[in-house]
């Protein structure tokens, strides 16, 4: 089961910051998940559309330029990263799951994604763009047919993972509280990967393993990896 650091190693470092991202890479996660908001002139790594919860700033991210946003503290004196910095730090070291939040001007986003990938020699297979906004995903998949997209949901739809297959998605990303074995089996039958968020507790990790989930997003990648390793050891000794 793959381990994605949710907003970086956000249980131990300020979410969606350089330290959270670098720590996740240091402990060898399979992937890093981050959130993207539009600023006036760029794409920023921050979960909320408002600055207030996670930074020293006030107001909407989309009302400021990246330069203005570089003045606010995103925790422990860190800055809100730009999408370019994200690519610099990750640089093919893990999968990169970019979740689009309030992200506008998708043509600009697509062009910038292509530019970064080319300039920094990022493997296309390492990029996974996800969103709860399936219209955005559909648009992006048409614009960039090579792009792996992940369809987010926090429900168990009547036709399970059909909506993700209809989008030609690579993966379906589900809420750990709204997933069951039938949903997982259906996703796999349709050739999709299925990843669950946000899974921190050992009991939940065990349940996701039982369902056959392909990967989990966790705020605590170190502890999660250690727990998964301990389960493997138990399996080996009891074999």
Q: Between residues 48 and 68, which has the closer beta carbon with respect to ligand G3P?
A: 48
Contact flag: residue 23 with Ca ion (CB under 5 A): no
Choose the contact partner of 173 out of Ca ion, ligand G3P, none; CB within 5 to 8 A by kind. ligand G3P
Label the pairing between strands 43-45 and 31-38. Answer: antiparallel
Q: Between residues 23 and 33, which has the closer beta carbon with respect to ligand G3P?
A: 33
Could you tell me the smallest distance in angstroms from the CB atom of residue 234 to Ca ion? 31
Give the residue closest to Ca ion by C-beta. Answer: 99
- The three state secondary structure string of the chain is CEEEEECCCCCCCCCCCHHHHHHHHHCCCCEEEEEEEECCCCEEECCCCECCCCCCCCCEHHHCCHHHHCCCCCCCCCCCCEHHHHHHHHCCCCEEEEEECCCCCHHHHHHHHHHHHHHCCCCHHHEEEEECCHHHHHHHHHHCCCCEEEEEECCCCCCCCHHHHHCCCCEEEEECCCCCHHHHHHHHHCCCEEEEECCCCHHHHHHHHHHCCCEEEECCHHHHHHHHHHHHHHHHHHC
Positions touching ligand G3P (CB under 6 A) are: 6, 33, 35, 47, 99, 130, 152, 173, 197-198, 217
Could you tell me the smallest distance in angstroms from the CB atom of residue 7 to Ca ion? 6
Could you tell me the smallest distance in angstroms from the CB atom of residue 34 to Ca ion? 7
Could you tell me the smallest distance in angstroms from the CB atom of residue 34 to ligand G3P? 9
Give the residue closest to ligand G3P by C-beta. Answer: 197
Could you tell me the smallest distance in angstroms from the CB atom of residue 182 to Ca ion? 25
Catalytic residue among 6, 102, 134, 135: 6
Q: Between residues 23 and 99, which has the closer beta carbon with respect to Ca ion?
A: 99
Q: For 173, phi and psi rounded to 5 degrees?
A: -110, 120
Q: Between residues 23 and 35, which has the closer beta carbon with respect to Ca ion?
A: 35
Beta bridge partners of 116: none
Active site residue 6: yes
Segment 44 to 103, residues that bind Ca ion, using CB under 5 A:
99
Active site residue 134: no
Choose the contact partner of 197 out of ligand G3P, Ca ion, none; CB within 5 to 8 A by kind. ligand G3P
Q: Between residues 7 and 186, which has the closer beta carbon with respect to Ca ion?
A: 7
* Whole-angstrom distance, CA of residue 181 vs CA of residue 171: 16
Task: Catalog residues that contact Ca ion under the rule CB under 5 A.
Answer: 35, 99
Active site residues: 6, 47
């Amino acid at each position: 089961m793959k381990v994605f650091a949710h907003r970086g190693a956000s249980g131990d470092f300020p979410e969606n910051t350089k330290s959270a991202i670098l720590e996740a890479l240091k402990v060898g996660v399979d992937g890093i998940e981050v959130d993207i908001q539009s600023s006036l002139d760029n794409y920023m790594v921050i979960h909320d559309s408002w600055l207030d919860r996670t930074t020293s700033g006030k107001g909407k991210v989309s009302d400021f330029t990246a330069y203005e946003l570089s003045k606010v503290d995103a925790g422990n004196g860190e800055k809100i990263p730009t999408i370019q910095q994200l690519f610099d730090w990750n640089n093919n070291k893990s999968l990169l799951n970019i979740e689009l939040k309030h992200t506008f001007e998708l043509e600009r986003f697509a062009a910038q994604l292509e530019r970064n990938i080319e300039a920094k020699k990022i493997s296309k297979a390492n990029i996974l763009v996800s969103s709860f906004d399936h219209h955005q995903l559909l648009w992006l998949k048409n614009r960039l047919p090579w792009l792996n997209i992940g369809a987010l949901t926090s429900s168990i739809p009547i036709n399970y993972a059909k909506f993700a297959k209809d989008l030609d998605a690579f993966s379906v990303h589900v809420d750990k509280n709204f997933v069951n074995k039938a949903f997982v089996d259906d996703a796999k039958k349709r050739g999709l990967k299925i990843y669950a968020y946000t899974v921190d507790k050992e009991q939940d990790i065990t349940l996701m393993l039982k369902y056959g989930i392909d990967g989990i997003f966790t705020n605590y990648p170190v502890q999660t990896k250690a727990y998964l390793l301990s389960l493997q050891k138990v399996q080996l000794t009891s074999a």
